[in-house]
Structure 1
Amino acid sequence: MTLTKIIGLTGPTGAGKSVIAGVFADMGAKIIDCDRLARKATESPACISALCGAFGSDIVMNGVLNRQKLADRAFRSPASTARLNQITHPAILRELERRIMCYKESGAAAIVIDAPLLFEGGVERYCDVTVAVVAAPETRKKRIMNRDAITARQAELRMSVQKDNAYYAGLCTYAIDTGGSEPENKEKAARLYVRIMNEG
């Protein structure tokens, strides 16, 4: 049976994790996107109820969670972000473990766990190797504004509650800077993936 290599991918918002994950996927890795798992977790009635208790019942309209309103409140301070994580993390970890097991059983050569809170959430314990995706703050701000169609101030608020590049680079096995062009970033990612897969 093939031994599955589990790669943790992390970094601050706007650093370009999805581009790197995309390259790894093209090269055969199975991707588990923790942001998507979080979206799924926040759809459960128990989670919605806890989020309303923490961030106000008006974050739900006609039974549907207003994610923008939740984000504005949850990312207002490190304390409110921590509260959000406290509510959503247990459900996210359960789904993460289920997916890892499924991919391992299917014989996947590699699984990439794309997790902004890889270390804060204790997700690194599932990983054989970790990769920090980093970029200059100005580059990240522009990407966030374009991606989410938000103002510079909103982007800065989101960035302000996250750790800096040095935090991620210092904890991970590898760091990849995505400050270059997209083709350059993809080439870097492909080289790194080959290196990781060739390690013992």
Structure 2
Amino acid sequence: MSHEQHTELAKCVRCGACKAMCPTYFFTSDETMGARGRIAMLGALTENELAPTKRLSDRIFSCILCEACSGVCPVGINIPESIYQGRARLKDHYARGRLIRKTLNFSLSRMDTVFSVLRGLQKIIYPPLRKAGSLRYMPEITSKPFKDRAQVYKGAGKLGRVAIFSGCSVNYFYPHLGDALVRILLTRGYEVVVLKGEVCCGAPLRAVGF
């Protein structure tokens, strides 16, 4: 971690405001599975009071990156960014992370193919998982990604031009949200551009420590 990140972590006063917002702490009641505990452990890591072990990595990677803790820290620690920085340092000690990174490296340049295959598999995989109670909810993968609508929507165009970066979720799971956004912007008087050739923003890779 950088000197700036070390200084950032050292600001923590252990007040617990972030812990109160943390869903993984809510479900486990384990201090090391909450936002405050993770910040404390990362601080100890920078001070060489903790070693970069698999156990520590499991705790830092258990954060679901919901950012519910974002903005609640009274001393202004950027908790989500601290988690990202910690994962970058610990990624080689997280076994599942290595498999995920290899899978992502292969998949990110082949997103259409990957989601097409997954769409075929979802009818086979989802039902037994739901029946077993292992899958509460998983959105269906669409057969018509939002980016297939790539074009310039003229509309009135009086207020300016807006380009939409839809991301993988809207592209493959929630294209109706992209359609709704286009309609709203057109109604408000904007020209709308749905980008052609959009690629992954890299968020999945950053989440696993890249």
TM-score by length of 2: 0.23
When Rg is computed on C-alpha atoms for both structures, the one with the higher figure is 2
Structure ranking higher in strand proportion: 1
